[in-house]
Amino acid sequence: MSSMTRWIGLLSDPKNLETYQRYVETIEPKIGAFLEFDPRRGLTESSAEGPLKGVPFAVKDILAVKGFRLTCGSRILEGFVSPYTATAVEKLQQAGAVVVGKTNMDEFGMGSSSDTSFYKRTNNPWDLDRVAGGSSGGSAAAVACGLVPFALGSDTGGSVRQPAAFCGIYGLKPTYGVVSRYGLVAYASSLDVVGICASTVEITAEMFTHIRGKDDRDQTSVEPPVKAWGNEGAERQVRRIGVVTGNLGLEAGVERAYKTTQEVLRSLGYEIEPVELSMLEYYAPVYYTIAMAEASANLARYTGIRYGYRPEYAENPEELVRKARSEGFGDEVKLRILLGTYVLRSGFQDQYYQRAQRIRTAIRKDFDRVFHEVDVILSPVFPTQAFRHGAEGLDPFQQKVADRFTTAANLAGIPALSFPAGLEGGLPVGFQLMAPVFAEDLLFQVARRFAGVVPPPKAPTNTSPWS
Amino acid sequence: MDLQELRITAALAYLELDEEEYEKLEGAVDQMLQYFSKMMEVDVSDLPPTTHALVRENRTRPDDVLPFTDTDSLLENAPETEARFIVIPNIL
């Protein structure tokens, strides 16, 4: 029976709604997953019928939900209330699911810890001294401690998959363009996708079928070829799994779990073949060049004039804009805007942005080559498990270098699924499967069989009677 | 990047930074540019640029009017208004 069963109808019954709110009130103060929590408001926007009737879900605060605030974790959007709803959210509401709140995140999605949020920090449900990951840390934490069965996030370079791995849940980054981005605040437009954090493979796959599909309101959205989604799972069977090898620089616990995961997959009858991704060492530099360039353009819209944070006093409109941006953006965002502006400056474009886009072509070609030999690819998500908050954790530069495994899927546009692979030292470890474009079903297929042997772990803070 | 370049870049990005911030950011910016320079190792002469992973062609749509009626919800987000106008500092 689907693990969703106990959640269905939960919020439609006033008595159960109260029980649910009480549960959230006992857990949430320890975790800090939400920036705003109001299931009653969410109920007014959802269909009273449908397969997901009364099912609570959370939305990363980078996706628009009418009537809820939309801050992106930034001071510059303080107090902004969204006048409309993102397509992905709307589709779930039409199926009966209810937005219970907006989740914490790194400012504008820029970070791997959720600690760059202007508003609060989110703690890992497995160890409150550690980060939940990022940038969709609030969404992943809310799922891991049983506040919701699933949550929406966004993934520009690993922002759904890395927190999912840190929290012991599933994180899907779909094929670029398959889920509408209407209502997703733009970070790096050629890389951004809406993703899903969920407690089981079944829920991940089910929610994906709800939110995918072409949308006239998103010019980059695509309808995959019919064949790709016809008879899901019935036509194509994964036989060969390519395992990324080489000097990967993994922490000891992650390394151990990586080997065990390969053994489990072999025992399930898969052919395990080592593959070398020849462009691996260029992923992160290429990714950050492109992401920062696009971010600097996308974030030019925040001026403090029509909405958002406005400084106390400004002499003239130009000063107003400069002050709004300087007081409204945090350090990490400023760094990325500066670098992005620099690499797009006349005279530097060829050296940086253009070059990165050309290497991106080589990265795509490299994946084409590998997918000729294997059906899916297994790789680490992050070289470490959840790190500690503050100075004992990873510094901002180390965090960026550590994005080398996740950024590949965004650069190539291919789907990737982060799945829990047991515990090491009491903390979850996750790995990712990558597949050719539109082949999300292959990811679910393998993850489902893996979960039959290694079921997803349950965080100690998760005492939810529904999950 | 020297400090002068950093100042020009900040001005282009409409960011006003104090000396302390310049000091902090200068190191971080250099560290990243150093990291980006790894890309110089790759021979890119035969590689066309990828601008989007899947979208190859330019897409257009009919230029139709789609009315948005809830304009109040937009104005409510403005930091300062006066009778449906957004207030900004004097231009002159």
Q: Where are the domains of chain B?
A: 1-41
Min Cα separation B3/chain A (Å): 12
N-to-C CA span, chain B: 35
Which chain A residues are Cβ-neighbours of B5 within 8 angstroms? Answer: 342
Residues 20-79 of B with CB under 8 A from A: 21, 24-25, 28-29, 31-33, 35-36, 38-40, 42, 44, 47-55, 59, 61, 70, 73-74, 76-79
Is A60 marked active-site? Answer: yes
* pLDDT at residue B1, as a whole number: 82
- Residues B48-90: tens digit of each pLDDT: 999 988 877 788 888 999 898 999 999 999 999 999 999 999 8
Q: Within a domain: residue A338?
A: no
Place of tokens 């809406």: A194
Nearest CA in chain A to B57: A220
Q: Within a domain: residue A332?
A: no
Pick the catalytic residue from A46, A117, A135, A199.
A135
CA distance B88 to A89: 34
CA distance A67 to A41: 8
- Please tell me whether the peptide bond between B37 and the residue prior to it is cis, using omega within 30 degrees of 0: no
Q: Which domain holds residue A137?
A: 5-233+416-453
Cross-chain CB nearest to B38 (options A285, A360, A361) = A285
- Chain A interface disruption, residue of B77, B82, B84, B90, most A CBs within 10 A: B77
CA distance A186 to A183: 9
Min Cα separation A5/chain B (Å): 36
Number of residue pairs across A and B with CB atoms under 8 Å? 172
Nearest CA in chain A to B74: A83
- Residues A268-319: tens digit of each pLDDT: 999 999 999 999 999 999 999 999 999 999 999 999 999 999 999 999 999 9
Instruction: Quote the number of domains for chain A.
Output: 1
CA distance A169 to A451: 11
Please state, in angstroms and as integers, the Cα–Cα distance from residue A155 to each residue in A260, A359, A416, B89, following that order: 27, 21, 10, 38
Looking at residue A163, which CATH number applies to its domain? 3.90.1300.10
Pick the catalytic residue from A159, A199, A221, A418.
A159
* pLDDT at residue A2, as a whole number: 54
CA distance A443 to A432: 9
Min Cα separation B44/chain A (Å): 6
Is A46 marked active-site? Answer: no
Tokens of B82: 């006066």
Contact A337 B13 (CB under 8 A): yes
Instruction: Reduce the DSSP state of residue A342 to 3 states and report it.
Output: helix
Is A326 marked active-site? Answer: no
- Residues A381-397: tens digit of each pLDDT: 999 999 999 999 999 99
* pLDDT at residue A227, as a whole number: 62
Tokens of A22: 């009480």
**Where residue A1 falls among pLDDT bands split at 50, 70, 90?**
very low
Instruction: Reduce the DSSP state of residue A432 to 3 states and report it.
Output: strand
Contact A317 B51 (CB under 8 A): no
CA distance A89 to A65: 7
Place of tokens 């009966």: A96
Q: For residue A391, count CB atoms less than 10 angstroms from its CB and return exposed for 0-12, middle for 13-18, buried for 19 or more.
A: exposed
Q: Within a domain: residue A22?
A: yes
* pLDDT at residue B54, as a whole number: 80
> Which helix (H) or strand (E) covers residue A338, if one does?
helix A331-344
Q: Within a domain: residue A394?
A: no
Contact A359 B42 (CB under 8 A): yes
Q: Within a domain: residue A106?
A: yes
DSSP state of A353: I
Nearest CA in chain A to B55: A220
State the complex-level ipTM. Answer: 0.95
Q: Within a domain: residue A177?
A: yes
Min Cα separation B35/chain A (Å): 6
Cβ atoms of A79 and A61 within 8 Å: the answer is no
Which chain A residues are Cβ-neighbours of B73 within 8 angstroms? Answer: 81, 83
Contact B86 A306 (CB under 8 A): yes
Which chain B residues are Cβ-neighbours of A286 within 8 angstroms? Answer: 39
* pLDDT at residue A233, as a whole number: 47
Cβ atoms of A88 and A179 within 8 Å: the answer is yes
**Where residue A197 falls among pLDDT bands split at 50, 70, 90?**
very high
Cross-chain CB nearest to A83 (options B1, B49, B74) = B74
Which chain B residues are Cβ-neighbours of A215 within 8 angstroms? Answer: none
Q: At A281, give phi and psi (nearest 5°).
A: -70, -10
Q: Within a domain: residue A360?
A: no
Give CA angle at A114 (A391, A85), nearest 5°.
170
Which chain B residues are Cβ-neighbours of A79 within 8 angstroms? Answer: 77
Min Cα separation A30/chain B (Å): 32
CA distance A80 to A64: 11
Instruction: Reduce the DSSP state of residue A198 to 3 states and report it.
Output: strand
Instruction: Reduce the DSSP state of residue A378 to 3 states and report it.
Output: strand
Centre a 10 Å sphere on the Cβ of residue A392 and count the other Cβ atoms it contains. Answer: 9
Which chain A residues are Cβ-neighbours of B3 within 8 angstroms? Answer: none
Which chain A residues are Cβ-neighbours of B14 within 8 angstroms? Answer: 300, 303, 321-322, 325
Instruction: Reduce the DSSP state of residue A429 to 3 states and report it.
Output: strand
- Residues A63-112: tens digit of each pLDDT: 999 999 999 999 999 999 999 999 999 999 999 999 999 999 999 999 99
Cross-chain CB nearest to B49 (options A314, A325, A354) = A354
pTM for the model: 0.96
Q: Within a domain: residue A391?
A: no
- Residues A99-157: tens digit of each pLDDT: 999 999 999 999 999 999 999 999 999 999 999 999 999 999 999 999 999 999 999 99
- Residues B1-54: tens digit of each pLDDT: 889 999 999 999 999 999 999 999 999 999 999 999 999 999 999 999 999 888
